[in-house]
A and B are shown apart, each in its own frame.
Chain A
Amino acid sequence: GNSVTQMEGPVTLSEEAFLTINCTYTATGYPSLFWYVQYPGEGLQLLLKATKADDKGSNKGFEATYRKETTSFHLEKGSVQVSDSAVYFCALKRGSGSARQLTFGSGTQLTVLP
């Protein structure tokens, strides 16, 4: 079946540090890949997505590249801010029609210190 594995947290960084959160997946065929972010007390929000191999998703300074050869979709940001403190979820979607479901990783808590 489909599965997503994220690096375990929590991750604590100083402001302006470089961020990488690793994500690898297992799926048949060509899933779409996503990163979602959850701020305290809120639901998940779509951060970025990629729908085919070698696509790069980007938003708010975050980037992730869909690497089919390594089945990975690592999240990166060159300079984090305190406001980036949140939980980040990697997810994949396989199927269409009634089978369109997201499978999530376990989430990575990021804390950015001033």
Chain B
Amino acid sequence: DAGITQSPRHKVTETGTPVTLRCHQTENHRYMYWYRQDPGHGLRLIHYSYGVKDTDKGEVSDGYSVSRSKTEDFLLTLESATSSQTSVYFCAISEEAYGYTFGSGTRLTVV
């Protein structure tokens, strides 16, 4: 496998609580990304990172923050979860090659 793991795989949380999703890679790739997948929208970029402590916003970044203190870990935090953040979240990594490698996803339900 490509050496990218997401945790947890499934999570149910209550509205207003903080949630952190973790993406871990063993490939030493420079670029890491967080996407959310929703019916009818495909995948939309939340945040991405181009190096340790170097991150930037994607098209749907409101309500999310990220951190990358080590090359191998990219954390996505929902400071105060809302029902609109119920989704499947995918992490991806890439290096100089054109394609991405995706994790298996985290299914998050906010009730």
- Count contacts between A and B, CB distance < 8 Å: 53
> With A34-B99, A42-B104, A45-B102 in contact, is A101–B42 under 8 Å at CB?
no
A101 B99 Cβ-Cβ under 8 A: no
Is B105's CB under 8 angstroms from A43's CB?
A: yes
**Number of B residues contacting the other chain (C-beta, 8 Å)?**
25
When A44-B43, A98-B50, A101-B58 are in contact, do A51 and B105 touch as well, CB less than 8 Å?
A: no
* Cross-chain contact of B102 among A4, A43, A49, A100 (Cβ < 8 A): A43
Q: Is the interface of B mostly helix, strand, loop or mixed?
A: strand
User: Hey, which bits of chain A sit against chain B, CB under 8 A?
Assistant: 4, 6, 32, 34, 41-46, 49, 51, 89, 93, 97-98, 100-107
A4's nearest neighbour on chain B, judged by CB, is B42
